[in-house]
Amino acid sequence: MAWTRDEMAARAASELRDGFYVNLGIGIPTLVANYIPAGMHVTLQSENGMLGMGPFPHEGEEDADLINAGKQTITELDSSSYFSSADSFAMIRGGHIALSILGGMQVSEKGDLANWMVPGKVVKGMGGAMDLVAGVKRVVVVMDHVEKSGAPKLLKACTLPLTGAGVVDLLITDLGVFEVGRGKSPLKLTALASGVTLDEIKAKTEAEFEVGL
């Protein structure tokens, strides 16, 4: 049995440490906020200009001036602060954010990440992803292990346009966890999802990897 989206988010939450300033991407990474361990103080940054993101509002309490980077309505905390996009990316680019958890389309054994466009098909844009992978101290990618077609997404080299080269520290998929180490050390499988065999994960991975379970 592969991990569910929530199980992947819970695994990613184990990367959090007390006192961390963290940026969570759209999709599964957003769910990580639900798995912050009790008693741990983590401050969530939203790159549109906020530190200290609170939970989604109750119905009827939505504020059009208060959204996250996924354009969802959110709330503020007593500890929150607001700032411009230039200040926000000074925090990101300047290395002041400890951890970024992002979604991915492809990851390579060299630590490259592609998650912003499919030429001729998907035209969305990179948003803040290129700045995050360039500036944040530790980059964790959470994604399905293969495409809907079954094609592998953990590759020797990405075929899609890159978001960043040699930027991924850790990869969490629905099948397991890999230390990527920004491509500076060999790719290493460090955990398997419950019920997933080594043979299965090898069959679904193009990249070369070591096994360190």
Partner 1 sequence: MAGKTQKDAAEALAGVLFDGMTIMAGGFGLCGIPENLIAAIRETGVKNLTVVSNNCGIDGFGLGVLLESGQIKKMISSYVGENKLFEKLYLSGELELEFNPQGTLAERIRAGGAGIPAFFTKTGVGTLVAEGKETREFDGELYVMERGLTADLAIVKAHTGDAEGNLVYRKTARNFNPMMATAGKVTIAEIEHLVPVGSLDKDNIHTPGIYVDRIFQGANFEKRIERVTTRPKETQMGEEKASA
Closest among 132, 101, 106 to 117, alpha carbons compared:
106
User: CA 49 → CA 67, 68, 82, 184, distances in Å?
Assistant: 9, 9, 6, 33
Beta carbon nearer to partner 1, 159 or 197: 159
Q: Is 78 in the site for partner 1 (CB under 8 A)?
A: no
3-state secondary structure 85-137: HHHHHHHHHCCCCCEEEEECCEEECCCCEECCEECCCEECCCCCHHHHHHHCC
Residue 57, judged by CB atoms within 10 A of its CB (0-12, 13-18, 19+), counts as middle
**Span interacting with partner 1, options 8-16, 37-45, 77-85, 144-152, rule CB under 8 A:** 77-85
Selected from 22, 32, 92, 193, the binder of partner 1 by CB under 8 A is 92
The minimum distance between CB 190 and partner 1, in angstroms, equals 26
Q: Is 70 in the site for partner 1 (CB under 8 A)?
A: yes
Binding mask 158-197 for partner 1 (x = CB under 8 A): ---xxxxxx-------------------------------
Is residue 93 within 8 Å of 135, Cβ to Cβ? yes
The one-letter amino acid at 74: I
Q: Is 55 in the site for partner 1 (CB under 8 A)?
A: yes
The minimum distance between CB 53 and partner 1, in angstroms, equals 10
> 47, 62, 147, 179: which one is catalytic?
47
DSSP 67: B
The minimum distance between CB 76 and partner 1, in angstroms, equals 7
Q: Is 38 in the site for partner 1 (CB under 8 A)?
A: no
Which residues, numbered 118-137, are part of the site for partner 1 (CB under 8 A)? Answer: 120, 123-131, 134-135
For the chain, how big is the Rg over CA atoms in Å?
17
Q: Is 47 a catalytic residue?
A: yes
- Please tell me the distance from the alpha carbon of residue 179 to that of residue 186, in angstroms, as a whole number: 8
**Which residues are catalytically annotated?**
47
Give the footprint of partner 1 on this chain (CB under 8 A): 30, 33-34, 46-50, 55-59, 61-68, 70-74, 76, 82-86, 88-89, 92-93, 112, 120, 123-131, 134-135, 161-166
